[in-house]
Amino acid sequence: MPGPHPTRRTALLTAAGLGMGAAVALTDARPASAALRPFGPYGSPARRLGPRTLYVDPHGRGDHTTVSAAVTAAAGGGWTLVLAPATYRETVTIPADRTGLTLLGATADPRNTVIVYDNAAGTLKPDGTPYGTGGSATTLVQADGFAARRVTFANDWLRAEHPDITSGTQAVAIRVLGDRSAFHHCRFLGHQDTLYADTRSLGVTARQYYSRCHIEGDVDFVFGRATAVFEDCRFHTLDRDVGFTPYGFVFAPSTARATALGYLATRCRVTSAAPDRAYKLARPWVPSSDTTAWPSLVVRETWLGPGTDAAVPYANMRDAHPWQDQRFAEYRNNGPGARVIAPAERPQLTAAGARAHTRETYLGDWAPARTG
């Protein structure tokens, strides 16, 4: 191929912007209006939306030039951080005491505002030990009541650039631990383990809501033990230069046995850049830290494209924990990947059973806005 070989760092956002899902171009693609009004309709340091609003711009037109610095300054609860369109190459932690914090992308397009880094589970920390899967996250949300609107969270670590790392290729874009976490019109980009929808600890419930989001990856790219609702989202499976199938799995829930409900995908789309039938819809994750986990997943009224293996959409992560023993079910899905070829391979809910799997039953007394 002529010219330099593209990497996730040089191509990710360009491809994502074209809907190709192969990678994020981390060039400055700010709209022209951002030069004059970097915070769009959301005010400025001279005209704040409110006393608990901070502005972030790497070009120095806000209160802070990095997201991390703004989070540090936002002591207490209820802050809104308005992010100017830019690529923020940094890791970000939202501590537990930053309750009710909101990250707000200043433009209508989440592709313009990107938080990205490139640690993997096998990447070594300064002390010489590996980060591990959770530690690889570009963004870590520990606080309750967190919200994000029109922001892209990405991890652009690539296997091909690190042939020395054959184990520990998980590279998390965001790990969400807090209860009542809501994401509207956001994008989550990575390869293996993109979105870690989790809880702070075993026995703690974390309700999460994802509305009109784009989530892409290859292996287990939506995983963890949170109680999470994905509504009107797109899950996009990536092509891979490998000689085996399946290429990967969309979901890998690890719901605790005491948690009544795990992941719910409703009115979503599962698309693919890979060959037909290259991906499984899900496999259960029963981690060594919780051998009694009882993974829970319901996919309902969702379009499944030809990249999903309709004949055998589920698989085991470990044979000791077969998917048939877990809480996996579907309801009124459609599309070529939703065809029921062998009923035993696709458990279906009845209409009565489906009434127990709605946004309201999963989120309980929390009713986040449907749009943002």
141-154 pLDDT tens trace:
999 999 999 999 99
Q: Show which residues are catalytic.
A: 220
In a domain, 331, yes or no: yes
DSSP H helices, the chain, are 8-17, 67-73, 132-135, 351-354, 359-363
370: pLDDT confidence band, cut at 50, 70 and 90?
confident
- Give the total number of structural domains in the chain: 1
Residue 368 lies in a domain: no
Q: What's the pLDDT band for 36 if we cut at 50, 70, 90?
A: confident
230 has a pLDDT exceeding 80: yes
pTM of the predicted structure, to 2 decimals: 0.93
Distance CA 209, CA 194 (A): 16
What pLDDT, on the 0 to 100 scale, is given for residue 37?
A: 92
In a domain, 370, yes or no: no
Q: What percent of the chain has pLDDT over 70?
A: 90
Q: Report the pLDDT value the prediction gives residue 189, as an integer from 0 to 100.
A: 98
- 192 band by pLDDT with thresholds 50, 70 and 90: very high
Q: What is the DSSP string of 268-335?
A: -EEEESSPTT-EEEE-----TT-TT---EEEEES-EE-TTB-SSS-B--SSTTS-GGGSEEEEES-BS
The CATH number for 202's domain is 2.160.20.10
Dist. CA 291–CA 254, nearest whole Å: 10
Q: What percent of the chain has pLDDT over 90?
A: 89
Averaged pLDDT, 152-169: 95
The DSSP output letter for 24 is B
Residue 371 inside a domain? The answer is no
pLDDT class of 3 with cuts at 50, 70, 90? very low
Q: What is the mean pLDDT of residues 202-220?
A: 97
Q: Is 2 part of any domain?
A: no
Beta-bridge mates of residue 340: none
Residue 350 maps to a domain: yes
Q: What is the model's pLDDT at position 33?
A: 59
Instruction: Say if 3 falls within a structural domain.
Output: no
C-alpha–C-alpha distance, residues 278 and 251, integer Å: 15
What mean pLDDT value characterizes the chain? 92
Is the pLDDT reported for residue 6 higher than 50? Answer: no
Query: How many other C-beta atoms can be found within 10 angstroms of the C-beta atom of residue 89?
Result: 17
In a domain, 372, yes or no: no
Cα 176 vs. chain centroid, distance in angstroms? 9
Average pLDDT over residues 285-313: 98
The whole domain housing 25 covers 8-363
Cα 166 to chain centroid distance, Å, stands at 23
Quick: pLDDT tens for 258-274.
Answer: 999 999 999 999 999 99
Given this model, what pLDDT does residue 18 score? 36
Supply the pLDDT for residue 19. Answer: 37
341-351: pLDDT as tens digits: 999 999 999 99
Residue 198 to residue 177: CA distance in whole angstroms = 5
Q: Which of 29-43, 141-155, 288-302 has the lowest mean pLDDT?
A: 29-43
The answer to whether residue 17 scores a pLDDT higher than 80 is no
